[in-house]
Structure 1
Amino acid sequence: MHNLDSDSEDELPPGWEEKSTEDGNVYFVNTCTSKIQWTHPRTGCKKVIPKELPFGWTKKDDESGKTVYIHKETGDMTYIDPRLAFAKEEKKHVHDFRQRFDASSTAFQVLHGVDLSGKYALITGSNAGIGYETAKSMARHGCNILFANRNLEATQLAIKEICRETNAAEENLKMVHLDLASLQSVRKCALAVKTMFSDHLDMLILNAGVFGLPYTETEDKFETTFQVNHLGHMYLTLLLEPLLKKNSRVLFVSSESHRFANLKNTFTQQSLSMSREQYSSMMAYNNSKLFNVVTAKVLSEEWKSKGICVNSLHPGNMVFTNLSKSWWLFRLAFFLVRPFTKSLQQAAATTVYVATDSDLEGVTGLYFNNCFYCQESELARDRDIASEVFSISLKMIQQRVGAEHIQKYVDKFVKT
């Protein structure tokens, strides 16, 4: 049995060549015997390549009628199919995928050769930090992006900067107002998105978040960290369900902090929002990140039959962004560890990987860290807790703005 974690078994024995067919299959030729076979001579596995050329490549026939491949940016020409650089073993099961990236990988590396032209993504919290880096990386590869943010002036500047840095077409980058601290704003945002993206949404990336806030309440009278990080995103996701089709991907950007959640004195039949008396800014954050993971779990089960994939992920520990801006002490702590944490490009890598990688087609209900799946906390794996969190969240939304457009979930999950 060969070691799937090793790259060496992919090396061809002497005398063998790897070739490709137009429809994305790989075959192997022994130049000494002229033998042709579909399986790798060392591993015995079949391999496939993308049906389309990698991003930035085109092809034409030369004077002799032979196909030549041209890189549009550099002008480099080759007779070797560039798709072969992205050949992968044919999957026997949806979860058969190797770890090809890690904590040091960048979003640009993850997207190497990936063409996102014609894809549509909505990213919350995308005018700065990891969300901005995610948007920039995907826009660089042709993705149409809808920036869903509270500060539209800052968003407009972010879009102009991305266009300047990546040569992305500005008409492919649009913005919509979203204030996650207002369920009415979330509803208005969803209506606007349905108008702008009337057909489908390929990727819904729920990235926005707050951290370390003193106790404050939203206009809906819920604790702010809870509503911004969890309830607003959950409501937005449910409202945008009509735009999610087979192979659409929903990503909840959570955190390893979910492992330190403590639902004691918080988990009641009526509310998940902390009261002023019991409030701890760190625990409010930890709990909200747990709610992200379990919401992804519930929706992955609900939407599996539709082919909609829902996953959660951790971008990186204490990445230096505006997330720590609420208190000078948090800001100082994040600054001091900055040399030892991920860059923004590295922090965006897991999000981009889960949103775009072809290996993850059909993969749903998992939690990712450092561009690979890992096991969530024990609380996050508790199905009863997940169902209860989902039920109470629905009840809280219903109490504030009614159950229009989410009635089927209220009927199924909310206990009378």
Structure 2
Amino acid sequence: MAALKYAGLDDTDSEDELPPGWEERSTKDGWVYYANHEEMKTQWEHPKTGKRRRVAGDLPYGWEQETDDKGQIFYVDHINKRTTYFDPRLAFTVEEVEKPNNKQRYDGNTSALEILQGRDLSGKVIVVTGANSGIGYETAKSFALHGAHVILACRNSTRATEAVSSITAEWHKAKVEAMTLDLASLHSVKEFTEAFKAKNLPLQILVCNAAVFAQPWKLTEDGLESTFQVCHLGHFYLVQGLQDVLRRSAPARVVVVSSESHRFTDLVDSTGKVDLALLSPPKKYYWSMLAYNRAKLCNILFSLELNRRLSPHGITCNTLHPGNMMYTSLHRSWWLMTLLFNFARPFTKSMQQGAATTVYCAVADELEGLGGMYFNNCFRCLPSQEAQSETTAASLWQLSERLIQERVGRQSL
């Protein structure tokens, strides 16, 4: 494609032709990045010139630029009621963008343990759902090996206990425990939140990691399609149940693991409202891949609306894509997917690399107080247009509340 021209850039740079398969994009806050559709990756540097570029852009939602009595520019965050002399648009870039040979701090090859190198998470309490295997396990282990008190919230208590033993075998001082949580059961979610509250612990980080993929059509005990409930509604109810603990623990973060698959679907009907028939369809209209895509779109919309509602209370939420076609347990319900993932395995991220962006969103200092964003390979990028819709996010929230009220009662929200 022809490169786009942006204000403030010289014509020579803006007209550099991109290699085949590359596309130039820009973030809302003015930074240009490049997407390689063949290799399914993104980067800040122009693939030919190696230059990083910036364009003029609006401040993030809720921010305003002002000048103090000394003539210095400062920024007001009206949502979180704070001021800073640091331009929030610069939070996700390298320190010296004029030096094209500088590489970004992290990328798709970075591991979760590299993100945490030198960090002491002692005193932090972290809950990770779906943490007995795959990316969730590596996420939980990485936190635990750096001093955090980590709770593995898992459906299978036997596997969760084995995961705890594996982590403590690696470091005997690791403070890690397992608790039962079945996101396919709203009753189980409620039991988990009540059991967690009984521990009288704070909760600084909640990682909504658990998911199912390529599942045959199945209704949960709550009468909803299982992919939708496990990936979205169960986590929605979990956050509602832990919201008061998160508030008391502020500053706190919620991290939601989504996927680039969210780009290949939508959720709304002809009236612009989120359609439950799309999210929880009857068996004859069900396609497992589409169900997964829709659930992953729900993740980003949920994160957007959650951040809007809770950021004034010191709770921020971001979402992320961990990586493409990684060999986790998600695909094992369908032999064809297992074959495909086995073939792709040598070319994809390791589980440690897949956990890196989750860990980055959970602990990065530069993200303190900032949320409502989507990350890939440890840096911010734009999700689909539908995923940026505040109207759709609000509609999904209202539908999610209604579904829970109908099943467990208004007092549970």
Give me the whole-angstrom Cα distance separating, in 2, the residues matched to 1:373 and 1:236: 26
Q: State the match for 1:380 in structure 2.
A: 387
Asked whether the equivalents of residues 94 and 361 of structure 1 are also in contact (C-alpha less than 8 Å), the reply is no
Q: State the match for 1:97 in structure 2.
A: 92
Deviations 1:306-331 (A, max 9, x none): 11111111111111010111100011
CA displacement at 1:300 relative to structure 2: 0.3
CA displacement at 1:94 relative to structure 2: 7.4
Q: State the match for 1:185 in structure 2.
A: 188
Q: State the match for 2:335 in structure 1.
A: 328
What TM-score comes out, normalization by structure 2 length? Answer: 0.74
Q: State the match for 1:139 in structure 2.
A: 144
Asked whether the equivalents of residues 317 and 371 of structure 2 are also in contact (C-alpha less than 8 Å), the reply is yes
Give me the whole-angstrom Cα distance separating, in 1, the residues matched to 2:412 and 2:177: 25
1:247 and 2:254 correspond? no
CA displacement at 1:269 relative to structure 2: 6.4
Q: State the match for 2:222 in structure 1.
A: 220
What TM-score comes out, normalization by structure 1 length? Answer: 0.73
Gaps of 5+ in 2: 1-7, 9-30, 32-43, 46-84, 94-103
Mapping of 1:200-239 within 5 angstroms? 200-239=202-241
Give me the whole-angstrom Cα distance separating, in 2, the residues matched to 1:326 and 1:109: 32
Which of 353, 356, 366 is equivalent to 1:349? Answer: 356
Q: Aligned pair in 2 of structure 1 residues 356, 404: CA closer, same or farther (>3 Å)? A: same
Give me the whole-angstrom Cα distance separating, in 2, the residues matched to 1:258 and 1:398: 27
CA displacement at 1:273 relative to structure 2: 1.4
Q: State the match for 1:49 in structure 2.
A: none
Asked whether the equivalents of residues 239 and 405 of structure 1 are also in contact (C-alpha less than 8 Å), the reply is yes
Give me the whole-angstrom Cα distance separating, in 1, the residues matched to 2:220 and 2:305: 26
Asked whether the equivalents of residues 271 and 396 of structure 1 are also in contact (C-alpha less than 8 Å), the reply is no
Give me the whole-angstrom Cα distance separating, in 1, the residues matched to 2:187 and 2:211: 18
Letter in 2 for 1:126: A
CA displacement at 1:208 relative to structure 2: 0.5
CA displacement at 1:390 relative to structure 2: 1.0
Give me the whole-angstrom Cα distance separating, in 2, the residues matched to 1:264 and 1:97: 31
Q: Aligned pair in 2 of structure 1 residues 398, 215: CA closer, same or farther (>3 Å)? A: same
Count of paired positions: 318
CA displacement at 1:333 relative to structure 2: 0.6
Deviations 1:380-410 (A, max 9, x none): 011111111111111111111112142xxxx
Mapping of 1:10-89 within 5 angstroms? none
Q: State the match for 1:122 in structure 2.
A: 127
Give me the whole-angstrom Cα distance separating, in 2, the residues matched to 1:272 and 1:362: 32
1:281 and 2:285 correspond? no
Give me the whole-angstrom Cα distance separating, in 2, the residues matched to 1:148 and 1:104: 27
CA displacement at 1:271 relative to structure 2: 7.7
Mapping of 1:385-404 within 5 angstroms? 385-404=392-411
CA displacement at 1:264 relative to structure 2: 6.2
Alpha-carbon RMSD across the aligned residues, in angstroms, is 2.0
Give me the whole-angstrom Cα distance separating, in 2, the residues matched to 1:95 and 1:192: 41
CA displacement at 1:276 relative to structure 2: 1.3
Deviations 1:281-303 (A, max 9, x none): 00000000000000000010001
Asked whether the equivalents of residues 251 and 312 of structure 1 are also in contact (C-alpha less than 8 Å), the reply is yes
Match of 2:285, SS state, is coil
Deviations 1:166-207 (A, max 9, x none): 3333xx2122110111001101111011112x2420100000
Mapping of 1:144-163 within 5 angstroms? 144-163=149-168
Match of 2:142, SS state, is helix
Q: State the match for 2:267 in structure 1.
A: 263
Give me the whole-angstrom Cα distance separating, in 2, the residues matched to 1:288 and 1:190: 22
Asked whether the equivalents of residues 302 and 393 of structure 2 are also in contact (C-alpha less than 8 Å), the reply is yes
Q: Aligned pair in 2 of structure 1 residues 320, 314: CA closer, same or farther (>3 Å)? A: same
Give me the whole-angstrom Cα distance separating, in 1, the residues matched to 2:274 and 2:206: 28
Asked whether the equivalents of residues 94 and 362 of structure 1 are also in contact (C-alpha less than 8 Å), the reply is no
Deviations 1:239-278 (A, max 9, x none): 1001113220001101000001233679436883122121
Q: State the match for 1:16 in structure 2.
A: none
Deviations 1:82-140 (A, max 9, x none): xxxxxxxx844375233410101001110111110110000000000000000111111
| Bigger Rg, structure 1 or 2 | 1
Gaps of 5+ in 1: 7-89, 407-416
Give me the whole-angstrom Cα distance separating, in 2, the residues matched to 1:111 and 1:269: 40
